[in-house]
Structure 1
Amino acid sequence: MSFKVALSFEDGVTRFVNCGPTETVADASYKARINIPLDCRDGACGTCKSLCESGEFDGGDYIDDALTEDEAAAGFCLPCQMVPTSDLVVQIPTTSDVAKTTAAAHPATVTAVDRLAEGAFALTVELDDRAALAFLPGQYVNISVPGTDQTRSYSFSTGADAARLSFLIKYAEGGAMSEYLAQRCAVGDRLELTGPMGSFFLRESTRPLLLLAGGTGLAPVLSILETLATAGTTGRPIHLVYGTSFDTDVVYTDLLDEYTTRIPGMTWDLVVADPETVHPNSGYVTGLITPDHLHHGTADIYLCGPPPMVEAVRGHLDAEGLEVTHFYYEKFTPASAPADEQDAPAKVAASETGVVPADEPEVDAVLVVDTPAGGSSPAAPAALAPATAPVTPLPSAGARLVSRLPGDPIPSIEARPRGYTPPAPGTHPAAAHTPDTLAGIAARPDGHTPPVPGLFPAAGAVAEPRAPIAARPDGYTPPQVTRPTAATLATPRSETITSGPGVVSGEIHPTISHSDAQFDARMALELGVVELTMGRLDRARLSEFRMLAESANQYIDGDRFLDPEKFTAANSQFHEFLFRCTGNDALLQAYRLLEVTQVMNSVLPDARWVSQDIVPEHLEIVDAFETGDRDAASYLIRRHTAHAKATMRTAMDRQGLGAAS
């Protein structure tokens, strides 16, 4: 028997939860994703103190400092301890927004603006709260345009640890940000950044890499390369194909050459659409993709460019019968482009990639990039369009162009010298392919001792770090999501797509029935989210995380499911918790749309066996977050993935046997 509990918030919103006969109101609330105030969960702090307006309940155990006798007599209660014995109405001393999160805003100051090419700027800023912003290579932020009510989305062009952040921005005549940079921007101007955003980022992997960049789509690729260089990647074949429309669009060739010295195993090619190019390769990115670059289907592909380029590459891979296992892409769609042009495959070397609101006709923004920690290399754009497209004109003669400092000359952009020969592609032998098993993490390292659960700094000992997770504004609407169709799920590939104003991100993997790649895709997302949330969760969120783990664990006894259907629902809430904490809807939706989640919902309700490591791993992952141990959390997520695979495979085999009989 369960009871209905009405949670009445200060802003007039009332939410209802169902509470079991032995369940506390706090536990039921968090299971329903309602983040009521909470701290100790032991009836010792009084943080959750509320007023019960009607109904009967068992008040549980608590100390007088948390709830006095007079307060209890007046109807006050502690939701972390109270267990209903009838339907209840409880006044919660906060607003309903506490259960909602969004990306944080970060004020910044302009420190430099560079004109990199005919149609490109590099903007560099210094954040007031740099330590509060964590991002992954490939993600972007929204930037407000001073003097307007417009925002634009730009990818970082500096490393995740750099003191100052740079962005690559296309000049589009009449565009809000373009005209601001060309006419009004000056060192010292104030901006506001919101983020990070997006689900396009470098996943953790040791597989070979094929990077494809169209024009200013080079930006997130530079971010990826910088991350690989900083991490000291060795022996992993990495090849980049970079395409532009004209020689005047080519940027950062010296930086790319430098990466070949910093990253063992890296090669790259440049291709320019203009037949009159001085560079060795004329044509399109697809013309330089060979089977050798895919390493028998084991390579991870990262593609960033305009919609025609993205679709052209996908069509090329299909037409040539080239195998793809892990394919990540991001395309920025100009609002002015006709729908049929945005969706139709086209041979395009590359094109400006930008995010703009639907009411803005110009593509005014470009993608994210990462550069060395502490470095100052700004990301550079390159206009990529069909060879027939005109070159973007310079602003009028009266336009003021701001360089690194007022009065400094605008740096020239030189074409690569005639006769230059890029590194030859495919010079690395194909890596021997082994299944992406996690044998190296099957057992804990000798001497590993999990942290003690529930450890928090003593009150007043250390100021709690700021958590850049704010309440969603009223009227907030999450971005549109495209769910996989039945036809998609019937094919050997599974595709998840998330979209926002002007940007579409996606990833393609084999379906769950063909490969464990779906589980690896889930793990890769989780490992990325660890980087965004570790050390940034306050006590209330850590308490919620632990309750969600315990909620899922109650449906397992040893290596047996007690109630696999309820476990599936509770486990889903536990696994998506960190994604909700990022405030990044694209990441959350990318996680929810992975096919593995659908298969869990269809397979696990009939399962009986479960890896007996699942229960302790749920709690140990929470332990790692409570103690701020990033390495332990990453290790546990990898290990947990291996045990989840075993559980799922066993359930699928059992289901197959049942169907056969």
Structure 2
Amino acid sequence: MTFQITVKPSGRQFPCESDETILNAAIRAGVGLPYGCKNGACGTCRGMVLDGSVTHGPHQAKALSPADAEKGFTLFCCAKPHSDIELEAREVLGVGEFPIKKLPSRVAKMEKAADDVMIISLQLPASERLQYRAGQFVEFILKDGKRRSYSLANAPHLDEHITLHIRHMPGGVFTDHVFNTMKEREILRFEGPLGTFFLREDSDKPMVLLASGTGFAPIKAIVEQAIHIGSKRPITLYWGGRRPKDLYMHALCEEWARTVPGFRYVPVVSNALPDDQWQGRTGFVHRAVMDDLPELSSFQVYACGAPLMVDAAKADFTAICGLPADEFYADAFTSEADLAKGMIAE
């Protein structure tokens, strides 16, 4: 059965089948509902049902508690309609500009950037091009139909190869394959571009870019895009890792700091060992931002990486530093283990 979804305050409408999520229907229709993980973990797609009823699939309690669901809040990524729905959500402009495609790709190059980080370069068929915004991601479609999401680590104009930064999660079906058995020239199939985490080019506000681990991948694309369009906005990049080796493109960031006007780089390490001889900043990476920039009311923040870091940054930046909630853009990297934690179903 098909239901009509109406988005307030824009008034945009789109059809949604009773057996699909509101988010999937919106993506298909080119309507820009905000989203990140697509699996009920990050809470980016949270909104309010003003009229009608939905059923929620499995999701994390921190993203949507039973009490909030009772108040009418929903997660579009796991909500299926039982009736026509009127919902309240802030639409993201520009999401439907580029077509979402399913494409084959060939592994052109594999480079180990750290013990647990592989940089993969993919080559598309000669007749195909992936158009996307800096910061978005693709989903690999595995043989069993399962999907794995990875951010695009190069700006759209640098599209001779598509690059991805893949962290090894021991026991993970896809990452075990990447690190143990994948060879160059292997064919991978993916769908994209996806996600509403991307550079807002229509703003002139100074930017704080906040990354942990391989959350650096889409941040790198955003920096490259800002350089490409000749942006004059001040940019400060904070990149956090447990040890210095986790900052696997440290030299590139230092080069940006030397050569890009208005760009500043602050590496932060939380668990350095004596052998690391680390002389830089230590502690939680989002706390380093707060130490340097206690007033964020005039900034935009782009945060990507571990869910704990993203959640803490959003809470503290908005509550303590005065950052407007609608100027915090985030992509929390969730693993299968993350998804299993705190999951509830309705």
TM surpasses 0.5: yes
Residue 265 of structure 2 aligns to a residue whose secondary structure is strand
Q: Deviation of residue 319 (structure 1)? A: 5.1
- Corresponding letter in the other structure for 2:150: Y
Distance 1:130 1:222 in 2: 27
Q: Which residue of 1 aligns with 2:153?
A: 157
Structure 2 stretches of 5 or more lacking a match? 5-12, 17-97
Q: 1:275 to 1:166 in 2, by over 3 A?
A: closer
Secondary structure of the structure 2 residue equivalent to 1:113 = strand
- More helix per residue: 1 or 2? 1
More divergent stretch after superposition (237-246 vs 320-329)? 320-329
Cα distance per residue 1:586-633 (max 9 Å; x no partner): xxxxxxxxxxxxxxxxxxxxxxxxxxxxxxxxxxxxxxxxxxxxxxxx
Q: Which residue of 1 aligns with 2:297?
A: 297
Q: Give the drift of 1:121.
A: 0.8
Partner of 2:308: 308
Cα distance in 2 between the residues matched to 1:102 and 1:173: 34
State the AA in 2 paired with 1:201: F
Q: Distance in 1 between matches of 2:312 and 2:106?
A: 39
Instruction: Determine if the alignment matches structure 1 residue 239 to structure 2 residue 240.
Output: no
The match for 1:332 is: 333
CA separation of 1:339 and 1:129: change in aligned 2, threshold 3 A: same
Output aligned runs, 1:594-613, within 5 Å: none
TM-score by length of 1: 0.35
Does residue 110 (structure 1) correspond to residue 107 (structure 2)? The answer is: yes
Q: Kindly provide the CA deviation profile for residues 1-23 of structure 1, in whole angstroms up to 9, marking residues without a partner as x.
A: xxxxxxxxxxxx9x999xxxxxx
In 2, the alpha carbon distance for the partners of 1:174 and 1:340 equals 17
Matched, 1:322 2:322: yes
Query: Given the superposition, is the C-alpha separation of residues 318 and 171 from structure 1 closer, same or farther in structure 2, using an over 3 Å criterion?
Result: same
Aligned alpha-carbon RMSD (Å): 3.0
In structure 1, the gaps of 5 or more residues are 1-12, 18-30, 35-100, 343-661
Superposition pairs of residues 254-653 of structure 1, within 5 angstroms:
254-276=251-273, 277=276, 278-290=278-290, 293=293, 297-318=297-318, 320-324=320-324, 326-337=327-338
Q: Are the equivalent residues in 1 in contact too, given 2:155–2:222 (CA < 8 A)?
A: no
Task: State the alpha-carbon separation in 1 of the partners of residues 149 and 3 from structure 2.
Answer: 37
Q: Whole-Å Cα distance in 1 between the matches of residues 167 and 339 of structure 2?
A: 20
Aligned equivalents of 1:252 and 1:16: distance in 2? 48
Instruction: State the distance in 1 between where 2:14 and 2:318 align.
Output: 43
Rounded to whole Å, the distance in 1 between the matches of 2:176 and 2:340 is 26
Q: Which has the higher strand share?
A: 2
Instruction: Name the amino acid aligned to 2:148.
Output: R
Does the 8 Å CA contact 1:212/1:303 hold for their aligned counterparts?
A: yes
Contact 2:136 2:197 in 1 (8 A): yes
Q: Does 1:210 align with 2:211?
A: no
Change (3 A) 1:326 1:294: farther
Evaluate the alpha carbon distance shift between residue 315 and residue 183 of structure 1 in structure 2; reply closer, same or farther with a 3 A threshold.
Answer: same
Q: Deviations over 1:199-231 (max 9, x none)?
A: 111112111101111111111110100001111
Asked if structure 2 preserves the Cα contact closer than 8 Å seen for 1:113 and 1:181, the reply is: no
C-alpha distance in structure 1 between counterparts of 2:162 and 2:239, whole Å: 23
Superposed displacement of residue 339, structure 1: 6.9
State the Cα distance separating 1:338 from its structure 2 match: 7.5
- Match of 2:131, SS state, is coil
The residue matched to 2:190 in structure 1 has which SS? strand
Residue 185 to residue 148, structure 1, CA distance change in 2 (3 Å): farther
What TM-score does the superposition give when structure 2 sets the normalisation length? Answer: 0.64
Contact 1:294 1:323 in 2 (8 A): no
Distance 1:275 1:249, change over 3 A: closer
**Residues 255 and 315 of structure 1: is their aligned pair in 2 closer, same or farther, counting only changes over 3 Å?**
same
| Cα distance in structure 2, aligned partners of 1:241 and 1:102 | 32
Deviations along 1:118-176, one digit per CA (max 9) or x if unpaired, are 2111111100156432000010111134x554331111122212211110111112212
1:173 aligns with 2:170: yes
Query: Following TM superposition, where does structure 1 have runs of at least 4 consecutive aligned residues deviating by more than 3 angstroms?
Result: 31-34, 129-132, 147-150, 290-296, 337-342
CA spacing shift, 1:262–1:230, aligned 2, 3 Å: farther
State how many pairs are aligned: 248
Q: Percent identity?
A: 27
The structural deviation recorded for 1:102 is 7.8
1:368-415, Cα deviation, whole Å (9 max, x unpaired): xxxxxxxxxxxxxxxxxxxxxxxxxxxxxxxxxxxxxxxxxxxxxxxx
